[in-house]
Structure 1
Amino acid sequence: MSKMSNKLNNRISLPIYFSLAVFFIFLITVVITGLLFYFARIFGLLNEHIAQDGTLLPVMTLIACTIIGTTISAVTSRKMVKSIRMFIEATDRLASGDFSMRLQLKSPPEFKILSENFNRMAEELGGIEILRTDFVNNFSHEFKTPIVSIKGFAEVLKNDDLTKEEREEYLDIVIEESARLASLASNVLELSKIETQSILTNKGWFNVGEQIRQCVLLLAAKFEKKNLSLNVNIQDYELSGNKELLNQVWLNLLDNAIKFTPEHGEIKVSMEKNEDSIVILFRDNGSGIHPEALPRIFDKFYQQDTSHSTAGNGLGLAIVNKIIHLHEGTIACSSTPSQGTTFTITIPNGL
């Protein structure tokens, strides 16, 4: 029964709501005025002379209706005016930066919809503000750290008492930090570029299996350096997409797997083709991701290692996530601490 009444309320539009309100105000005004004249006639306040007067009675009726109607309208409109004032106050607070503000308007139906839309907007703006703050804080940290390091070691290198070995070591650190800074700038620019895209461009058919094999070869030195074993099960499947962007995805996921897999560990890459999509898995037996960190791994600049001691700037997975969504695909991550991580990418094979 309640569901039926809710549906009926939702069907009543704002104009009908106001029309009904005006009708009932008019009806109540007429009824009260009629009762007043009726009781006035009974108690002798309205004599025959006044009743037969063609001018006085209409004027008295008009005055009575005006006073009664205005009083009823003022009382009944207070709720409507109160709702509008609440909305004005809420928008003022929202404009001032208070994104915790919420509205709970229940009637008329349009005001309820307005309230729900306002709350959703406030929630989205609050989320954007948190992301903006996190972005600024993390970017400042990631950008400042290599600059401070370069400055410090550059000052040390001015010392003439350094041995050749020390000088070489410090120069290597300066080069490494410079590369890290350049990588950060490149990733920020790349993320900024793809975030402005809503439509995938430069699409074409290519052999995705061969592309992944080439990415493995590019990172062969890193595999050998950590003595990692590689278990690859990929086929020559054709995929429609942006070859350059997807190349970044495979390189990033492979590089992450190498980074977080201990020496003599194992990395698996597998692929299978479904009726309308291609599924690619990247699995490692590394340190894994903590359950609390798992929902945030695709956030910009987010790193599970809060000490920032691990190489990286927290932009890689954000870029990967955006590229996959541009291809109308999905990316999911499952992980168990100390056991490993699996990234599953699903991309439609007929864009």
Structure 2
Amino acid sequence: MNNESELIALKNGIISKISHEYRTPLTVIQTSTELLKIYYEIKDKQKFDEAIERINTSIEKMIKFLEDIVLLGKIESKMIDLNYEKVDIFSYIDSIITHYRTSHKNLQKIYYNKSGNNKIFNIELNLINIIFTRLLTNAINFSPKESEIKIEIHTTQDNFTVSIQDEGYGISPDKLENIFNPYKRFLEKDFTDGTGFGLAIVKESVNLMNGEINISSEINIGTTITFSIPDKK
């Protein structure tokens, strides 16, 4: 009976949270649309453009929220096509880090170290992309400017392991306990910085490839997330 009550409470909480998270951007869109008429009539181009930007930001937020829900559902139910391919994992990580260093050059300093003789792995690259880019984006979003982000990759004949360490705000032990639980995580987030489903998507993506993921964190010290993916023989 307790489990049933908890499920009902969880369901009601999720419905309420979704309603709230959609009401906010919809209110922004509604208000900004009304202001557009005023700014157009008085020919205030700057305020007109700012209202357009608020509308676009709110729409993007809603789309991202829906996309994450759909993606998590597909991965959890294993209703996603897995296309394995031979990939030079060092070259792939190099290219992603180069992109992030260029696009975030005024933010954190990203350091990268790689070791191991084997670099060719048979992996699902779409899932690897989801895992690595989301973790690196989190490290950037939750770290102060000018702080350091350290990325290490080590390969063996059977798998490769990636570690991403930041100097961010850290995660409290009570939140760390449910960090990969998408629904409890969703209920406790305020969504100023994401949908709340990101780490659950990462965890389920790792699971689909029979990998492992671990996280450690200290408040005001930083967070380290390590994942390991086997070579599919």
TM-score bracket for this pair, using the shorter chain length: 0.7 to 0.9
Q: Is the 8 A contact 2:87 2:122 kept in 1?
A: yes
SS at 1:262 equivalent: coil
SS at 1:280 equivalent: strand
CA distance in 1, matches of 2:5, 2:85: 39
2:214 to 307, 332, 340: 332
Does 2:205 align with 1:323?
yes
CA distance in 2, matches of 1:237, 1:221: 24
Does 2:153 align with 1:153?
no
The correspondence of residues 1-351 of structure 1 with structure 2, limited to 5 A, is 99-100=1-2, 123=3, 128-129=7-8, 131-159=10-38, 160-161=41-42, 163-197=44-78, 201-226=82-107, 228-234=108-114, 237-274=119-156, 276-300=158-182, 302=185, 306-308=189-191, 310-351=192-233
Deviation at 1:144, TM superposition (A): 2.6
CA distance in 2, matches of 1:144, 1:303: 16
Pair 192,333 (structure 1): closer, same or farther in 2 beyond 3 Å? same
Select the structure with the greater relative contact order (CA < 8 A; seq sep ≥ 6).
2
CA distance in 2, matches of 1:212, 1:173: 34
Q: Is the 8 A contact 2:13 2:187 kept in 1?
A: no
CA distance in 2, matches of 1:141, 1:268: 36
CA distance in 2, matches of 1:281, 1:254: 10
Which string of whole-angstrom CA distances, capped at 9 and with x for unpartnered residues, describes residues 210-256 of structure 1?
A: 22222223333542242x11110135722222111111111100111
Number of aligned pairs?
228
Larger Rg: 1
Which string of whole-angstrom CA distances, capped at 9 and with x for unpartnered residues, describes residues 101-158 of structure 1?
A: xxxxxxxxxxxxxxxxxxxxxx4x5665455344333333333322221112111212
Runs of at least 5 residues in structure 2 that lack an aligned partner in the other structure: none
TM-score (norm 1): 0.59
Name the one with the larger strand percent: 2
Deviation at 1:281, TM superposition (A): 0.3
Pair 194,303 (structure 1): closer, same or farther in 2 beyond 3 Å? closer
My pick for the range that moved more, 243-252 or 178-187, is: 178-187
* Percentage identity across paired residues of the two chains: 26
Q: Is the 8 A contact 1:293 1:304 kept in 2?
A: no
Pair 271,196 (structure 1): closer, same or farther in 2 beyond 3 Å? same
Deviation at 1:275, TM superposition (A): 5.7
CA distance in 1, matches of 2:94, 2:73: 28
Letter aligned with residue 64 of structure 2: S
Q: Is the 8 A contact 2:17 2:187 kept in 1?
A: no
Name the one with the larger helix percent: 1
CA distance in 2, matches of 1:304, 1:269: 30
CA distance in 2, matches of 1:127, 1:207: 46
CA distance in 2, matches of 1:175, 1:324: 32
Letter aligned with residue 101 of structure 2: A
Q: Is the 8 A contact 1:269 1:280 kept in 2?
A: yes
CA distance in 2, matches of 1:326, 1:280: 17
Letter aligned with residue 248 of structure 1: I
TM-score (norm 2): 0.86
Runs of at least 5 residues in structure 1 that lack an aligned partner in the other structure: 1-98, 101-122
CA distance in 2, matches of 1:298, 1:246: 17
CA distance in 1, matches of 2:187, 2:92: 29
Deviation at 1:338, TM superposition (A): 0.8
Aligned Cα RMSD in Å?
Answer: 2.5
Deviation at 1:208, TM superposition (A): 2.0
CA distance in 2, matches of 1:143, 1:216: 33
Pair 216,340 (structure 1): closer, same or farther in 2 beyond 3 Å? same
